[in-house]
Amino acid sequence: MKKPKRKNHAGRQLLASLVLVGLATGIFIYSSYQHRDLRAGKPFVPKEELPLATQLTPAQMKEDLATFEKQLAQVHPATAGGFSDETKAALEQAKKSVKSPKKVSEFTTILNQVAATLQDGHTAAVRLSDRQIPAQLRYIEDKLYVKNYSPPQPVQPAENGEGSENEEEAEPATDEEDGGESAAADGGQLQPGDELVSIGGVPISRITGRLKVITPTETGRSDSGTVKNSGLFYRACENDLLRESTLYAAGVDTSSGTVAVAVQRGGLQVTCTAPLADPAAPSFSYTIESGVCQLVLPYCDSGKEAASFLKEAFGAIKQQKVHTLVVDLRQNGGSGSDMTALLMPYIDVDNVKQFSNTVTRYSDLAAAQLGYRLTTGSALTDIGLQKNERQSDLLFTGQVYCLIDEGVYGTANDLAIALHDSGAAKLVGSDTAAASTGYGAPVSGQLKNSGICYRISHQKITRFADSDAAALTPDIAVKITPQELASQSDSHLQAVWEDVKKQK
């Protein structure tokens, strides 16, 4: 018998934006506490962002670029010994690019081309107030498909009541790039399994091409040093491509608040009209069926609501005699909080094996936000094995699986590492987007003239086991197909069921 339970996450629009954009993916987990004054830190509070179409002068961009360069040099662990040749070249190109007026959208791209050279998905210029097409995508063999579509009811208007904040039209696509939408039939709403062809007349290849130049190859360098598509690029295609800021930068006119989306469906090309809406806040949920519990964690949170949800879920797990737990982290980008300390006490392991050490870099920016007493230098903190404080009443002693994919990043990746490396769970799915040993715990800022927000990692975190691995890889590999999306089946769960049968 299927028994769904759901705990809604009552978040404001800003919180939803932070979750989906991933402003704080990767939390400050471990630190040199002897150098901290917790009362002195002040959280970053952004001011209102400028419309994407706002024109910036060369002088304004020159000043903001200098600020961004200074913060990268002072905050990020990778720049402690100076900028790499790749970063230096990107900065020189950026300084040339800002010699002529640019829109906020264009300047954001310039900043991200610089940030991408640090090969760290946490470090970037970000857009906090970003509408998007309300759909989920999956990247399969160099094509993008719709996983699901959930239009808001009713469609939410822009804050100014006149459609998009970006009243100036974006650069139109050429006749050759119109994706054939003018001749397409009405396709109604987007449907699972639809293959994206173009948005607003702009080919999908053009939009993904723009994403590629601003996405770090954190896990995408082969042994020969050749850059290939990385998990972060796949994650960007699946999570960032439908955002208004991405579409506008690629030349899509978003001023009406709706866009035309051309798709391949059943061998025909049809056009759907989709709204741009504020992102919906995700929620935790669980489902129990035939002794198997699927615990769906679409974001990470370490607060009271998450603690209450887990207590409720594991209470039901005990009551219904669940023998198999499936922790579903697919498309979880982290969202700023580490759930490891909340979840692991319910799992029957003696010790939590996650990270061996962290290197914390001190700076004015980190000191202001996190209360460090030091503003220069670095500190190494050993972590090692952490004793697991088991929940005596609701401890789960059965088989555990953890579902992962290229959408898993930040603290979600940290949680998957803890489950796997502690010997608690089998990983099912595909490689995650994050490097096993990488950067995190970003601090944030906002540029004076452009109003562009940014985040910069200030820690390097080393995985306890297999620290040289490029990414977290599954024990049971699963490849999804367009047919699976169209039929709304789930190959990840099917793989779990098959493995459970083998254990009997």
Strand-pairing partners, residue 264, are 195, 269
- Give the pLDDT score at 229: 61
HSE-up of 496 (CA within 13 Å, CB side)?
25
- Give the pLDDT score at 19: 38
Q: Is the pLDDT of residue 366 over 90?
A: yes
Collapsing DSSP states into helix, strand and coil, what is residue 457? Answer: strand
**Both tokens assigned to 166:** 């970006």
- C-alpha span between 221 and 229 (Å, rounded): 9
Q: What is the mean pLDDT of residues 320-331?
A: 97
Which residue would you say has higher pLDDT here, 312 or 282? 312
Extract the runs of DSSP E, i.e. beta strands, from 316-421.
324-328, 351-352, 355-361, 378-382, 386-387, 399-404
- Give the pLDDT score at 93: 98
> What amino acid is encoded at 483 in this protein?
Q
User: Which residue carries 């962290």 as its tokens?
Assistant: 358
Q: Quick one: pLDDT band at residue 49, thresholds 50, 70, 90?
A: very high
The per-residue DSSP string of 277-295 comes to BPPPPP-EEEEEETTEEEE
Residues 122-134 pLDDT 10s? 999 999 999 999 9
Percentage of the residues of the chain whose pLDDT score is greater than 70: 83
Q: What is the mean pLDDT of residues 451-480?
A: 90
- C-alpha span between 263 and 424 (Å, rounded): 42
Strand-pairing partners, residue 378, are 361
- C-alpha span between 367 and 311 (Å, rounded): 35
User: Which residue carries 């220069």 as its tokens?
Assistant: 376
- Give the pLDDT score at 17: 40
- C-alpha span between 310 and 296 (Å, rounded): 11
- The residue among 38, 234, 202, 71 whose CA lies nearest residue 137 is 234
Q: Is the pLDDT of residue 167 over 50?
A: no
Q: What is the mean pLDDT of residues 429-442?
A: 91
Q: Residue 154: is the preceding peptide bond cis (ω within 30°)?
A: yes
Q: Among the listed ranges 169-173, 199-203, 220-224, 337-341, which one has the minimum average pLDDT value?
A: 220-224
- C-alpha span between 89 and 81 (Å, rounded): 16
Residue 122: C-alpha distances to residues 118, 216, 458 (Å): 10, 9, 10
- C-alpha span between 409 and 302 (Å, rounded): 16
Q: What is the mean pLDDT of residues 86-91?
A: 98
Report whether 145 contacts 190 (CB < 8 A): no
Q: Is the pLDDT of residue 10 over 50?
A: no
- Give the pLDDT score at 27: 36
Q: What is the mean pLDDT of residues 137-141?
A: 94
Percentage of the residues of the chain whose pLDDT score is greater than 90: 74
Q: Is the pLDDT of residue 20 over 70?
A: no
Q: What is the mean pLDDT of residues 75-96?
A: 98
Q: What is the mean pLDDT of residues 86-108?
A: 98
**Both tokens assigned to 273:** 């009209």
**Both tokens assigned to 182:** 């003018």
Report whether 342 contacts 306 (CB < 8 A): yes
The pTM (predicted TM-score) of the whole model is 0.86
Handedness of CA 408, 410, 412, 418 (dihedral sign): positive
> What amino acid is encoded at 479 in this protein?
K
Which residue would you say has higher pLDDT here, 160 or 260? 260
| Number of residues that make up the chain | 504
What domains are there in the chain, each with its CATH number?
A: 135-275 (no CATH), 281-440+458-503 (3.90.226.10)
Q: Quick one: pLDDT band at residue 436, thresholds 50, 70, 90?
A: confident
